[in-house]
Copies of this chain bind each other. A is one copy, B any other.
Amino acid sequence: MSKAGDQYAVLPVAKAMQVFAYVASQAHDVTLTEVVQALDMPKTTVFRYLQTLSAAGLFSHNIEQDRYGVGERFRELARLDAVYHSLRSTAQGELDKLVGGFRETVNLAVLSRSDIVYVDIREANRSQRFQARIGHRNPIHSTSLGKAIAAFLPEEQVQGLPVNFEPRTYRTVADARTFRRHVDDARRRGYAIEIGENEDGIACIGVPILDGYGYPIAAVSLSAPDNRMKTLVDRAAEALQEASRRITAALPQISLRGGV
């Protein structure tokens, strides 16, 4: 494989990845010597990589047979990536359609601990200063994205959410009761609204994206200055829900349960 030329390559890492790729592409669990012969590396070196990768959980080491195979941690990461990858790629077209139809900013976000994380953002209007960026976090309680996801989370998981009710504007939801009401409303309605609770003058309407098991793995939202938003709430909610349904349909049938 390419190893010269990549001037910043860290050799142990590059070689360990060769081992990784070999083991992962075998249908059976492999032995130390098998890897050594296949990759023509010193026994000690391969031994150490196998140990290291096993310790990291990417491999599982079957002690009684002295065989190494792909580990559960790797499979978790792979499942997570499969879902997220599919989410982003199928959402792409839908986001484009939405931003094209409304000429307002459209966001895609997932839940991560007590925050929502922006995964994709399409700005209709590049002059806005405050827009979020990919990877940025916002609280659950101050965004329509967060409320939309919370609304469709299993009850016990909503309880467990570490919401801190940190105020973002003077309108930010400040206590559990109000939050609860907003979330219940969102569940009943099928979409969440947020008016200047995260950023003054900006309103948002958010819709969850459910996976095949009804679990809200993400949310899409449309955000606009609140005067403009008033006139298009209904149309936007409808369009967002349609987009969400289409994204759900294209998602792989994989459950994430505790994987996040």
Query: Which residue on chain B has the smallest CB distance to residue A29?
Result: B134
Residues of B within 8 A of A17 (CB): 52-53, 56, 58
Query: Which residue on chain B has the smallest CB distance to residue A22?
Result: B77
Is A34 located at the chain interface by the 8 A CB criterion? yes
Is A119 located at the chain interface by the 8 A CB criterion? yes
Is A87 located at the chain interface by the 8 A CB criterion? yes
Residues of B within 8 A of A30 (CB): 135
Number of copies: 2
Asked if residues A6 and B81 are in contact (CB atoms below 8 Å), the reply is no
Residues of B within 8 A of A82 (CB): 75, 78
Check A28/B81 contact, CB under 8 A, given A9-B52, A16-B13.
no
Q: How far is the CB of A98 from chain B (nearest CB, A)?
A: 19
Q: Could you say which of B12, B13, B48, B80 contacts A25, with CB atoms under 8 Å apart?
A: B80
Is A215 located at the chain interface by the 8 A CB criterion? no
Q: How far is the CB of A83 from chain B (nearest CB, A)?
A: 9
A58 to B13, CA, bound (A): 12
Chain A 156-195 interface mask (CB, 8 Å, partner B; 1/0)? 0000000000000000000000000000000000000000
B-contacting residues, A1-54, CB 8 Å: 1-3, 6, 8-10, 12-14, 16-18, 20-21, 24-31, 34, 47-49, 51-53
Check A52/B10 contact, CB under 8 A, given A16-B16, A31-B135, A82-B75.
yes
Query: Which residue on chain B has the smallest CB distance to residue A118?
Result: B28
- Please name 24 pairs of A and B residues whose Cβ atoms are closer than 8 Å in the assembled complex, sorted by A: A2-B55, A3-B55, A6-B52, A8-B48, A13-B53, A13-B56, A17-B53, A17-B56, A18-B56, A21-B73, A24-B77, A24-B80, A26-B84, A27-B84, A27-B112, A27-B119, A27-B218, A28-B117, A30-B135, A34-B135, A70-B85, A75-B81, A75-B85, A78-B78
Q: Interface of A with B (CB < 8 Å)?
A: 1-3, 6, 8-10, 12-14, 16-18, 20-21, 24-31, 34, 47-49, 51-53, 55-56, 58, 67, 70, 73-75, 77-78, 80-82, 84-85, 87-88, 110, 112, 117-120, 134-135, 218, 253, 260
